[in-house]
Chains A and B, each alone.
Chain A
Amino acid sequence: MFSLSDLLVQVGRRRRRQRGLQLAAWFLLSLTAVFWVLFSTPFLTLASEHLMILLWFVPVAVAALAYVVGTRQRIDIDQLLLQIDQGLNTGERLSSLYEVSLRNGPDVFRYRIEKVLRGKPLPWRSTMRLRRRTSVTLVAAVLLWGGLGSAVTGMWALGSGSAEPGGFPSVVASEREDPRSDEPRSLDAGQEAQRSVEDERSGTEDTVDPTRMDAGMLAQVDVDDGSLFAALALLEAFITSETAATAEAEGWGFGQDSSRREEALARAQSLLESVQDELVGGGVIAPEDRQEIRALAASLASGIEQDTLAAVSDLPSGQGETAGEEAADAGSGILTDGDAERASEDDEEEQLLAADSSSIGDSASDSGSLDETDAGPGQRPLVSALGAPGFVTEKLGGVLTDETAFRDLLTQGIPVEPVYEQDGEAVGSLQIDPLQLQAIVEQRSLSSEQRDLIGAYFRAVTQGGT
């Protein structure tokens, strides 16, 4: 039985809800977007967790208010009925009937129109669907807000375990920081990049490893102890390469001794799990765990050293030995702080410390060149292999002999960064930033053969990029 009054009530209610949703969706999306921007800036990182949670609820509260306001807005019932008429192709009966209903007393036209309307179904709801734009806005707003919630709660969880008083550890800030920064946490980015390169090479996807520490954890560690951070990163790299079963997995000094490898892997996983629990629980890593981490990392590092030396001994004379020597130097720089004094005494190293990957652009304008004829006797012209577009050959600071220092093999454009000691000060040793190196190599669109050659070179001289 058709009833205009019922229809008007239902149509009005539906339209008011839609108005409310429309307004709420818009406000939710706008405010959530604003908060996303705010959360990615340093302003909110100083706020307390309670304020953060409170701020997270602000968009929803405003959206709820907007919904209420939207449902109370005046609706144009004439236009609405005409819209339904158009949608249902009723011959504008509903809007006309409403017009007639406003007249006083019985009306022959009202009777005739109602008679026509009674005869056909009126699926008017199909003509009053939420607009696509509103639906999309609403879904996007909810997803964005949910994501914001995850970010906030994640920060809150970290913040509750942080040793920093009254604030969240700056996860977002640390993620935003320039990987070329002189902060120790850039090691984390380097390790991540290295891991991703390894995964890419092995053709495996980045599997979720329960023992793998997230960026926030590592960032938290480095605040306390730079070398411990490096050790943890090494353990993590080791676990990743082992679990990924890549060729690199054999480069940890275990050779064919699988039982030792498995034992080390289990130990590393156990240690990382333990550290993760400790960080979540109290934010402090137990001294015995620290010792064990360092010991295991040192063991792995020495394994790498042996493997690298063995590998470079196969290279042409001079280069391999020098590279192995320097690799050992660089490796020990991270974990044992060895040879730091020698490097810190050199003035030229200060220039190299300032060298940035961005200087590769500058180097392109340099006129330095290294012909094959410039190479000394018995030296392999490594640089000439880089004859790809964008590379400018440059004369090395020294010659490749058994006595060549690591710094002499560095030219402008090679992304190096200093090695840090516990107190956060640079000790003078240098290491290659694998992330930047990877970026440079990819930017040049080199062939895989050339990439491998560059990789071999840097592994040789820097002990696997560390």
Chain B
Amino acid sequence: MITERQLDEAKLAFGRLREAISAVIVGHEEIVSGSLITLLCGGNLLLEGVPGLGKTLLVRTLASALGLRFSRIQFTPDLMPADIIGTDILTEENGRRQFTFEPGPVFANVVLADEVNRATPKTQSALLEAMEERTVTVGRATHALEEPFMVLATENPIEMEGTYPLPEAQVDRFLLKLEVRAPTVDELVEIARRNTEGQGIVLPDPVASREDILAARKVVRDVPVGDGLRRFVARLVLATHAETDSSPSIVRDFVEYGASPRAAIAILQAAKAHAFLEGEPNVRVRDIEAVYHAALVHRILLNFRGDAEGVRVSDVISDVWRRTKVS
């Protein structure tokens, strides 16, 4: 049972966290909000954007403000799974040789998988278990990852040659996918000012602890959502399936695979976190709308005709939203 005090403390902690991130990151409110939502839900975040937009800085700032362990993995075509999850190495202790597990960079609280689509599928898949199960298996030993754990992966939409699109199973494990857009003129001026004056960018001191995060997660799970809204979310997700009667024509014509049930869970979880961050005592349609796009955009696969005709998944999602009634 959540108490008044737990609720207020969780709100205060995330208020401080948001302030600390905003002091470093200019603009990108949607990305910051998405990162916090992902953190509150215990999920993983996929960021898509060209280099230099501050993706790495955001992740580092988040880790710094939380006082959590941060690691960065630059994905390249020759990256091996062991480079991520670690490996057993032969060590000698008291004259006795033995294999000892050397954890890889995935053993951190916040992991930045930079340009994740540049590694081979085999290496990408090395993250699967860590992202979903929060464990890493090497040989016959399974190692648990420390909570809170979050993978923030980035994708570069340009320079697609030599890249490996993420496997569907792995994409589905990202709670949200957000597109990092270029800053506006004012934001760019502010970014330039902060980087060129004084002591430049200074990462924030920790403003929330691991316990704060875990307590806030517990609060978020209790945020009430009406059964009618749950049904609404279910209808939304099912409407992305071409074989469903309620699906709009754009889905029937251009969608190969609709969103999985994990999408419905993601929408509801993210909506709860959004309501919590907004200071609301319950989930509203507005909360669902705020996270709906980011929760579905990477979970819908267009068919050949859709690709050939240049249909965007965003258009499909928007159409589904417009045509699905709340009550």
Contact = CB atoms under 8 A, between A and B. Distances in A.
A91 B286 contact: yes
A108 B5 CA distance: 9
Interface string B296-327: 00000000000000000000000000000011
B284 A91 contact: yes
Contact of B281 (A82, A86, A105, A113): A113
A388 interface: no
B326 A109 contact: no
B94 interface: no
Contacts of B281: 93, 96, 109, 112-113, 116
Interface stretch (B20-28, B124-132, B218-226): B218-226
Contacts of A277: none
Nearest to A101: B224
Nearest to B8: A108
B229 interface: yes
A92 B282 contact: yes
A94 to B, nearest CB: 8
A95 B228 contact: yes
Given A108-B7, A109-B223, A81 B282 contact: no
A109 B3 contact: no
B127 to A, nearest CB: 35
A109 B2 contact: yes
Given A91-B284, A93-B282, A109-B282, A81 B222 contact: no
Contacts of A106: 1
B285 interface: yes
* B interface, size bucket: 20 to 34
B88 interface: no
Given A107-B1, A109-B222, A78 B282 contact: no
Contacts of B223: 109
Contacts of A91: 280, 282, 284, 286
A83 interface: yes
B4 interface: yes
A99 B282 CA distance: 10
B227 interface: yes
A36 interface: no
Residue among A97, A112, A113 with the most chain B CB within 10 A?
A112
A11 interface: no
A148 to B, nearest CB: 38
Contact of B2 (A94, A98, A108, A116): A108
Contacts of B232: 82
Given A92-B285, A96-B282, A113-B282, A108 B4 contact: yes
Nearest to A114: B281
Contact of A109 (B224, B228, B284, B327): B224
B181 interface: no
A113 B7 CA distance: 14
Interface in A370-407: none
A95 B226 contact: yes
A96 B223 CA distance: 9
Contacts of B224: 96-97, 99-100, 109, 113
Contacts of B228: 78-79, 81-83, 85, 92, 95
Given A81-B226, A92-B229, A100-B224, A86 B327 contact: yes
Given A91-B280, A92-B229, A95-B226, 17 more contacts: A78-B231, A79-B228, A79-B231, A82-B327, A83-B327, A85-B228, A86-B285, A92-B228, A92-B285, A96-B226, A96-B281, A96-B283, A99-B225, A107-B1, A107-B2, A109-B2, A113-B224
27 contacts: A78-B226, A78-B228, A79-B231, A82-B232, A82-B327, A83-B327, A85-B327, A86-B285, A91-B282, A91-B286, A92-B226, A92-B283, A92-B284, A92-B285, A93-B282, A95-B226, A95-B229, A96-B225, A96-B226, A100-B224, A105-B1, A108-B4, A108-B7, A109-B2, A109-B224, A109-B282, A111-B4
Interface of B: 1-4, 6-7, 222-229, 231-232, 280-286, 326-327
Closest 7 pairs (CB-CB, A-B) = A95-B226, A82-B228, A96-B282, A112-B281, A78-B227, A96-B224, A83-B327
Interface of A: 78-79, 81-83, 85-86, 91-100, 105-109, 111-113, 116
